[in-house]
Amino acid sequence: MPKSNPWPDDRIRPVNNWVLAGRIYLFVFSLIYFLLGALLLLAVRLFSVKFYLRFMSYWVFLGTRALMLALNAKIKVKQPENIPKGQPFVIIGNHTSYLDIPVVASQVPVLFVAKQDVKQWPLIGWAGSLAGTIFVDRDSGGKSGKYVQVMHTILRFGTNIIFFPEGTTTGGDELLNFRSALFAAAAAADVPVLPVGITYTHIGGIPTDEKARDLVMWYKDDPFLGHFLTLLRLPSIGVEIRVGDASRIDLNPDTIENRQKIAAEFRDQVAELYHYPFKK
């Protein structure tokens, strides 16, 4: 009885088992790398939280670059001159896959803000914890100020942060409304907010469309491990990061209405940067 084809698009030929084994090895090596870094930095944190945060962001930067190399991810950054220099900043963008975080982190040293659910994900949640991720309780939305204060402290110590204001991943058809609470951290720290648009343009050398996008995007209830193994078998992934203009936030007065207005303005900026390429 012939085996069924597990791929949504038969134009894409998966890598062979030897390449898959090599990629799994590199991913496991990345987890060990993050673990060693976390253990090393436990001692450093006792003496300097500032150095700990800065070192961790660069440790993540190197680790995710190795991961992108293992996945044969070809990343193009458009308008890189817009990235702020010599000061910490917050990156925001659209969210379609767990791959978004290492894609951006491989280009700019950052620490992450993720929803609490991610902490329970196999492998990714563990790696995120080791990499200094700030896990936010989605039910509270950060409104208690606890997570805003943590982000403020990280930014004040000179470390960049990335978060995805949609609060969850989508199929990329359109952007959800941006959650507004965490923008208060950027306003309190008086740092620029940098909008980016992340588009997965090619898979295995062919333009991404609605038939193939599920190989990279993870927004349904598919088991994570099965999807991740599929991702590891892709011959290559083309990614484009469009960088917008950084700007500071003025929350005066700091009201829910003002936060929501600012969140909507940044949503419009990200929408202009993100190119939806998936045509039926």
The residue among 181 and 114 whose pLDDT is bigger is 181
pLDDT at 171 over 70: yes
- pLDDT over 90 at 160, yes or no: yes
What pLDDT, on the 0 to 100 scale, is given for residue 280?
A: 47
The per-residue pLDDT for 277 is 63
Range name among 61-65, 117-121, 241-245 with the lowest pLDDT average: 117-121
Residue 72: which of 218, 174, 203 has the closest Cα? 203
Please compute the mean of the pLDDT values over residues 141-169 and round it to a whole number.
80
pLDDT per residue as tens digits for the range 176-206? 999 888 888 899 889 999 999 999 999 988 8
Residue 2: predicted pLDDT = 41
* DSSP string across the chain: -PPP---S-TTSPPPPHHHHHHHHHHHHHHHHHHHHHHHHHHHHHHH-HHHHHHHHHHHHHHHHHHHHHHTTEEEEEESGGGS--SS--EEEE----TTHHHHHHTTS--EEEEEGGGGGSTTHHHHHHHTT-EEE-TTTTTTTSHHHHHHHHHHHTT--EEE-TTSS---SSSPPPPP-TTHHHHHHHT--EEEEEEEEEEETTEE--TTTGGGT---SS--HHHHHHHHHT-S-EEEEEEE---B----SS--HHHHHHHHHHHHHHHHHH-------
Predicted local confidence at residue 5, as pLDDT: 45
Query: If you average pLDDT over each of 35-49, 57-71, 233-247, which comes out highest?
Result: 233-247
Q: Which fold has domain 17-273?
A: Glycerol-3-phosphate (1)-acyltransferase (3.40.1130)
Higher pLDDT, 42 or 103: 103
Whether pLDDT at 250 is above 80:
yes
